[in-house]
Amino acid sequence: MDFRLEFTPKPFDIKINHQHNLLLVGSCFTEQIGTKLANHKFGVLDNPNGILFNPSSIAKSISSYIDNKQYTETDLFYQNECWNSWEHHSRFSHPDKKICLEGINLSQNKAHAFLKKANWLLITLGSAFVYELENKDVVANCHKVPTDKFAKRLLSAVEVFAGLQSMIEKAVAFNPGMKIIFTISPVRHLRDGFVENNRSKATLIQAVHQLADKNNNCFYFPAYELIIDDLRDYRFFAEDMVHPNYAATNYVWEKFIATCIDEPSQELMKEIAVIVAAKNHKPFNPTSEQHKKFLQTNLVKVKKLQQQFPYLMLKEEEVFFKS
């Protein structure tokens, strides 16, 4: 008997390879995929503004990278003994205003340079709900400011489409060869409510499919559907019943590889995974001859891969196995 229906996404016509650079922007699910890509030695820059959930903030952040916007003191506010930016995650917040700004602008410069050479932009949308200040500006992060300071509302599919379409046109003008992958985060925003969460996800899905239909450089990867319709079981969620667990994330990752990454890179990933696992291995006796032989064997593997594929970033592994 079959107790679930497996869903296999259609492979992309154009696929990612190890010579490509990928900028990832969006929810915490973005960072999980970004970490896995980086561990397999793809060129990755992950969330230059920190985690973002709503499409308005995501579109605004990408536009700021294109413009290489430099933030000033007037863009910051003081709350909870820290200086913060409404457009950035709290990881940039700092008691020292100067350090806060330096971190933000350093990230901006890096994102601008990376986006110019990026082959892929991967955007994961989390929620269509936004929080607006009195001046109607949408905030990317509320920074634990009391909720009465914001007006919360659900964006329409028209608004989501318009904001992201404008960003796409600007991004393509900046980097004509770049491709864009949209995903909807499978993380359930149940603090908004069960019905409200589904309304939000439906809004995002409708807008994103319109974008993919309109733009030849846009693709859709169904991370949301793989969790909600394929796995479809609370066993695949963490204890909070909101976030997909380790097994679920790995399942989506395997589908992402098959759908989005070309076959030569898939084979190369297997070799890289062996090397990375060896690097993370904790020896029983680091001074033993057996361990020294283990290091030497893997150093040979690293050097061989570097000779075959000079663009792979294996310097860290080479230094480790030389030690």
User: Domain ranges in the chain?
Assistant: 21-261, 263-323
- Tokens coding 210: 């319109």
- Predicted local distance difference test score (pLDDT) of residue 104: 98
Give me the sign of the Cα torsion angle 253, 43, 310, 66.
positive
Angle between helices 157-174 and 55-67 in degrees, nearest 10: 20
Q: Which CATH superfamily is domain 21-261 in?
A: SGNH hydrolase (3.40.50.1110)
Q: Where on the phi/psi map is residue 10: left (φ > 0), alpha (ψ -120 to 50), or beta?
A: beta
- The H or E element containing residue 104 is helix 97-117
- CA pair distance 301, 295, nearest whole angstrom: 10
Q: How many residues does the chain have?
A: 323
Angle at 155 between CA 197 and CA 221, to 5 degrees: 65
Closest CA to 22 of 10, 35, 13, 11: 35
pLDDT along the chain (323 residues), means of 10: 86 96 93 93 96 97 98 96 97 97 98 98 97 96 93 97 98 97 94 95 98 97 96 92 93 97 96 93 86 91 93 90 84
- CA pair distance 116, 240, nearest whole angstrom: 39
Closest CA to 314 of 264, 257, 281, 271: 271
- Predicted local distance difference test score (pLDDT) of residue 30: 86
Give the number of other CB atoms < 10 A from CB of residue 78.
10
- CA pair distance 156, 165, nearest whole angstrom: 14
